[in-house]
Homo-oligomer: A and B are copies of this chain.
Amino acid sequence: MKTLKVVKIGGKIIDDEIALDLFLKDFANIKSPKILVHGGGKSASQLMEKMNIEVKMTNGRRITDADTLDIVTMVYAGRINKNITAKLQANKCNAMGFSGVDANTIVATKRPVADVDFGFVGDVSKVNTRILNLLLEHSITPVFCAITHDENGQLLNTNADTIASELAGAFAKQRKTELYYCFEKNGVLRDVNNDDSVIELINTKNYQKLIEEQVINDGMLPKLINCFNAIKMNVSKVCIGKSNMLFDTKSKFTTIQK
């Protein structure tokens, strides 16, 4: 089987229409089987503001009450997913929008209430690849938003980086799989203000030191946990950087290894 590329794009690409169009044109041209996972960007919060729904956060993390779940379902699975899918179709990429609900592809468990009640937030418990494999074999490109379900009718809001990592990990059991986290920077930076200060390799040896030095901060830490999680599940290549890393092997980006 051909190598599968799982590509995640973050919020800042989604919020920038020109950057998104350029990315999707490039992504459509990837010849190998591929899956796109997209985050949400600012548009859910903006819609909540318009509707006078309070955006509830704790330690920088969103609390998903029933109203918030409704909004993110509409924005992620509706507005963003269908527009991205239509644009890929326009670029001759036979894309198909997915949430974890569809064909029961990603099952999650509502996060138990501990110190914080995150509300309708789901932690991935199972990825079903059967139908996805069937579609990939027929040249379909799945496009995932970060909505999952609990198999009992409840939709759940799930971290898009985690969706990408869990999808890649599930496919890595069956075929060579690579995972790319695309965002607006060249990779994990030693100096956040200097896009040339890319740390080209992060592995279990230098990881702890980078955390202690606070080079890896609160914003980047969850992404790296997802990267190491993917590696543990035998994903053969895990990278963080600008989307040109997908095409230009000379570009600088961060590779995460064991």
Cβ of A42 < 8 Å from any Cβ of B? no
Cβ of A187 < 8 Å from any Cβ of B? no
Closest 8 interchain pairs by CB? A78-B78, A74-B74, A90-B153, A74-B78, A77-B78, A96-B103, A96-B102, A86-B149
In the complex formed, the residue of B with least CB distance to A107 is B89
A79 in complex: contacting residue of B78, B86, B134, CB < 8 Å: B78
Q: Is the interface of A mostly helix, strand, loop or mixed?
A: helix
Q: How far is the CA of A104 from the CA of B51 in the complex (A)?
A: 33
| A256 CB, min distance to chain B CBs, angstroms | 32
Q: What mask results when residues 149 to 160 of chain A are scored 1 for a CB within 8 Å of chain B, else 0?
A: 101111100000
Cβ of A246 < 8 Å from any Cβ of B? no
Chain A 58-112 interface residues, beta-carbon cutoff 8 Å to B: 70, 73-79, 81-83, 85-87, 89-90, 94-97, 99, 101-104
Cβ of A138 < 8 Å from any Cβ of B? yes
Q: How far is the CA of A108 from the CA of B153 in the complex (A)?
A: 32
A86 in complex: contacting residue of B87, B130, B153, CB < 8 Å: B153
Cβ of A131 < 8 Å from any Cβ of B? yes
Q: How far is the CA of A217 from the CA of B150 in the complex (A)?
A: 44
Number of A positions contacting B (CB below 8 A): 40
24 A–B pairs (Cβ distance < 8 Å), ordered by A: A70-B79, A73-B78, A73-B82, A74-B75, A75-B78, A77-B78, A77-B82, A77-B97, A82-B99, A82-B155, A85-B99, A85-B101, A85-B102, A86-B154, A87-B153, A89-B149, A89-B151, A90-B152, A90-B153, A94-B103, A103-B135, A131-B140, A134-B134, A134-B135
Q: How far is the CA of A95 from the CA of B99 in the complex (A)?
A: 12
A104 in complex: contacting residue of B79, B83, B89, B151, CB < 8 Å: B89
Q: How far is the CA of A79 from the CA of B81 in the complex (A)?
A: 12
Q: How far is the CA of A172 from the CA of B103 in the complex (A)?
A: 24
Cβ of A205 < 8 Å from any Cβ of B? no
A73 in complex: contacting residue of B79, B96, B135, B154, CB < 8 Å: B79
Contact B79 A74 (CB under 8 A): yes
Q: How far is the CA of A130 from the CA of B94 in the complex (A)?
A: 12
| A41 CB, min distance to chain B CBs, angstroms | 14
Residues of B close to A96: CB separation below 8 A: 102-103, 131
